[in-house]
Each structure stands twice: as C-alpha cells, then as structure tokens.
Structure 1
Amino acid sequence: MENPSSNIEKVQEDCYNEWMSLQARRMTELKQALSNGEKDYAKLRDLARTALRDFEDYAGKRSKHSRRYSSNYYAPTWNTCLENALLWIGGCRPSSFIRLIYAMCGSQTEHRFSNFLRNDNIDDLSMALGETHGEIGGGDSMSDLTAEQLFKINELHLKTVQAENKLSKQSASLQEDTADIPMAMAAFYKEEIGEADVVVERALDKHEEDMAGLLVEADKLRLTTLTKIVEILTAVQAVDFLLAGKKLHLAMHEWGRCREHRRVEAYVGGDSDGEAAGE
C-alpha cells in the first residue's frame, strides 16, 4: 500500500521543480528584454507583471498542497541544507527583497563612479550623480532611485518588518504548542514510543493545518511586498530587480548543491585515508 505522505511530497517536489524551471526561463526573457538598446517600457512592465503572476500561481499551488502536509515546506527535502538554513516560514524573508534593492543601488552607484574615475568622462559623471533618464519619474538604473522612490521603499521596509515580526511570533507560538497537551502527555506516559494514538494524530493534524495557514500568510506577504516594489520602481528597474532576485534564488540552490557535493567527497576521501592508515 502506498504511503500518502510520500505521494504528496512527490507532488510538492514536482511543483517546486516546475517553479525552478520557470524561473530559469523567465530569467532568460528578462535578460533579453534588458539587453535591447532601445527599451520597450510597455514590454518590460508586462514581463514584470508576468513574474508576479507566476509567483501568485506558485503560492496558490503551495497552499493547495500544504493542507495536510505543510511541514514538508518548512524543511523541504528537495532543498539543499544551505537553503533550509536560510528559510523563514517556508521561503525567504520579504524584507530581503528590499535589502536586495539597497545592495543593487550601492553596487551600481559604485560602478558608475569607478567608470568616471577611470574615463574622466562628463557623461559618466552625470550618470554617477544620478541624473535620471528613461521613464518619467526615474531612471534605468537602481542608482537612479529618486528621493520619492527611496522614501516609499523605506516606508515599505518598515511595514514589511513589522508584518514579519507578527508572523514570526505566530510561528513561535505554534512551536511552543508541540510541548502542550495532548502530545507532551502522550510522550511522557508511553513506555515505548511508537505510532501516535488517535488523540495525538488529531493534535498533529491540527498543528499541520495551522502551519499551512501560516505558510499562506507568509506567501501573501512575500507577494504583496514584491508587488509594491514593482509599483515603486520604473519598468527597467523592476525588471533588473526581478532578474537579480531570480539569479540569487537559482545561485543559492547551486551553491548549496556544490557545498554538499564537496562535503560528500571530503567525507569519502577522509574514510578512505582512515582505512588506508589503519591497514
């Protein structure tokens, strides 16, 4: 007889793999749109909206697949250990999106000044000083962020952190509930720890349902934060930001895999050396 838990985990993993493949395809589309000399701002806006719809669809699938087995999303077996160590309620912290904007802004500004110092070009200087171009109300680089944009981003950052803290407290409460009745009492009085009884199973099912609800709320906050960021940024800035986010997501997965591969090789090599030394 097939284990329903392993079946749903396979569905969840397939859903994740589809999402990662879609991320890679969208990344190519975003790159191509940014590489065009003459920017099509309408197309860039459409690509940004498509990226948001992609995440909304993915969040909907996660919600559907998490109703009875939400714990799989809190420590996914399809993730690397590095990724799981960085998880916040089944994903990344929404505030990290805003920190990415700050990082891109600083990096691009530094790059512009470096170009100016090397070339001593007045055009590079005007760019480095933040003269805007492209869409009305902003430029094509994250270093072109206007005072109004920075104010809105900072305001969004504060509200996002407050919302994160609220969800983090709910998550802590759910973790504390695992030491509550009836689970704690069942574990204490059982002479042998085996399959949970009906009362404990009901309590665990309720816990999974509560965690599923928390996951949905966290995904809503992630989507809301992304949507508001895209609204604040110009078309080029939004696509540049979304591209950077996808690159970071895919890179973390690959870096995690490489680190785990090196650990396995080091462990196998260490065992071999030990066996050889003991002979």
Structure 2
Amino acid sequence: MAHNTSHLNVQQSFESFFQGWLLRQQNFLEQLLSISLTPDSPLKIHHQNALIDQVLSHYHQYFLQKSRLADADVFLLFSPTWLSSYERALLWIADYKPSLLLRLVDGAVQGLTPDQDQDLHQLKEDTRREERILTGIMAAVQESLAGPSILQVARQVGRLLDGEIGELDSAMEVMKRAMTEVLEKADQLRVTTAKRVVEILSPSQTVQFLAAAAEFQLRVRRWGMERDSRGRQEHR
C-alpha cells in the first residue's frame, strides 16, 4: 500500500510540473514568434540571446525532472498517463526522436548557408546512427522483459512464496536499471542533438528552430487531447 501511495505521489508531482511547464512553453512560443518579427537592432540581439538562454534553461528543467522521475519509477515514463494516446504513439524511448528536431530545422529555418547544410547533414547521419543503436538496445531490453524466467514468476503473482517474491523483485530491479540506462542515453542524445543544432545555427535561426519545436509539441498536444476527448464522448 505504501509503495502504491509513493508511486501515485511521484506521478502526480510530475504531472503537476508538466502542466505548468506546458503553460510556460506556450508563453515562450509567443515570445519567440514575437521577436522573430521584430526589426533587427542591437536591442533585438540582446533580447534574442537572453530569450534563447531562457528557453534552453526551460528544456533543461524538463529533462532534470524527467531524470528525477526515472530514479523514482522509470516505468511511468514508458507509459505516461499525462500524455494523450496520440502523443504516446509518437514517442521513441519515452520521448520524441532527436532526428525529429532535424526535420523541424528543414521545414522552419531559413537562410542556411552551404556550410550549415553540410554540418546539419553530418549531424543527421550521426543522430540516426545513434538512434539505431539505442533502438536495438531497447529491443533487447523489451525481449528480456518478455523472457520466460520473468513471465513464469509474474504469472504466479497470486501464489508466490517469499523466495519467489524476492526473485520477482530482483528481476524487476534489473529491468528498471536497464530501462533507466537506455532512457538516460536516449535523453542524452536528444540534448546533444539540440545543442549541436544551436551551435550550427545563427541566433535568429535558433529562434526559428525553437519556435518550430515548441509549436510542434503544443500542436500535437492539442490534437491529442481533442481526439481523446471526442473518443470519450463517443463511448458514453
């Protein structure tokens, strides 16, 4: 019972953080769109750089909270109840694929130079290679979860003896560590990819990129919540 209460508290705490984080995300999107329309001036450059730093700090807070949740209960991040079914369908190792960021650059960032194009092309290749490696690792983790030894013990949950309970707990602890490790690597790839994009782009292009990323997330969120709401109404 205590474990269930702790599990619920951790989940509710992150959900509360995430709702507030999304509101701040909307606010940052409005600021990014506004500054992108402002005429060039020394004051704009100052505000633009400060805003970029704030948005990157905003994302840092998100990944920090995710890491804390993973330490408490990593399984929640792989079945996030705070997301719509549409959002969950787009996830890769508990979040969006980092290569998605690069597609956003292609569609939203203007005025890329040949050198920037080349650097982004190399980044795409590096990112997709790392994604393939992590996808393979995640598949191996999932296969081990469905392995006969864990399933055999799990099917006996209603009639486990003390030793078997310990065996199941040990198996789940191993699984938790494996999932936490692959999530940490996936999040590191997401962060590294975003940092490299920002290093390649100019500040004004970075504003375009960050606006596109925020707009994409918020639009998917809105669509997903609306679809879930319609689905609930149709089943009443």
**Under a length normalisation based on structure 2, what TM-score does the superposition of the two structures give?**
0.89
- Which residue type is aligned with residue 221 of structure 2? H
Q: Give the match for residue 152 of structure 1.
A: 119
Q: Give the match for residue 16 of structure 1.
A: 18
- Which residue type is aligned with residue 19 of structure 1? W
Q: Give the match for residue 196 of structure 2.
A: 228
Q: Secondary structure at the match of 1:76?
A: coil
Q: Which of 108, 132, 143 does residue 165 from structure 1 map onto? A: 132
- Which residue type is aligned with residue 218 of structure 2? L
Q: Is the 8 A contact 2:119 2:200 kept in 1?
A: yes
Structure 1 residues 179-188 or 153-162, which shifts more?
Answer: 179-188
Shift of 1:66: 1.0
Is 1:248 aligned with 2:216? yes
Q: Give the match for residue 152 of structure 2.
A: 185
- Which residue type is aligned with residue 204 of structure 1? M
Structure (1 or 2) with the larger CA radius of gyration: 1
**Under a length normalisation based on structure 1, what TM-score does the superposition of the two structures give?**
0.76
Q: Give the match for residue 88 of structure 1.
A: 92
C-alpha distance in 1, partners of 2:148/2:20? 40
C-alpha distance in 2, partners of 1:155/1:248? 24
Aligned ranges 1:1-279 → 2 under 5 Å = 2=2, 3-39=5-41, 40-104=44-108, 142-180=109-147, 182-187=149-154, 190=156, 192=158, 197-268=165-236
Q: CA 1:80–1:191 in 2, change beyond 3 Å: closer, same or farther?
A: closer
Q: Is the 8 A contact 2:110 2:205 kept in 1?
A: no
Q: 1:69-128: per-residue Cα shift (whole Å, max 9, x none)?
A: 111111200100000011011110000000111122xxxxxxxxxxxxxxxxxxxxxxxx
C-alpha distance in 2, partners of 1:62/1:150? 32
Shift of 1:192: 4.8
Q: Is the 8 A contact 1:67 1:209 kept in 2?
A: no
Q: CA 1:236–1:205 in 2, change beyond 3 Å: closer, same or farther?
A: same
Q: Which has the higher helix share?
A: 2
Instruction: Report the aligned-residue RMSD.
Output: 2.1
Q: 1:186-225: per-residue Cα shift (whole Å, max 9, x none)?
A: 146x395779812101211221222122222211111111
Q: Is the 8 A contact 1:52 1:226 kept in 2?
A: no
Shift of 1:176: 0.9
Percent identity over the alignment is 25
Shift of 1:51: 1.7
- Which residue type is aligned with residue 16 of structure 2? D
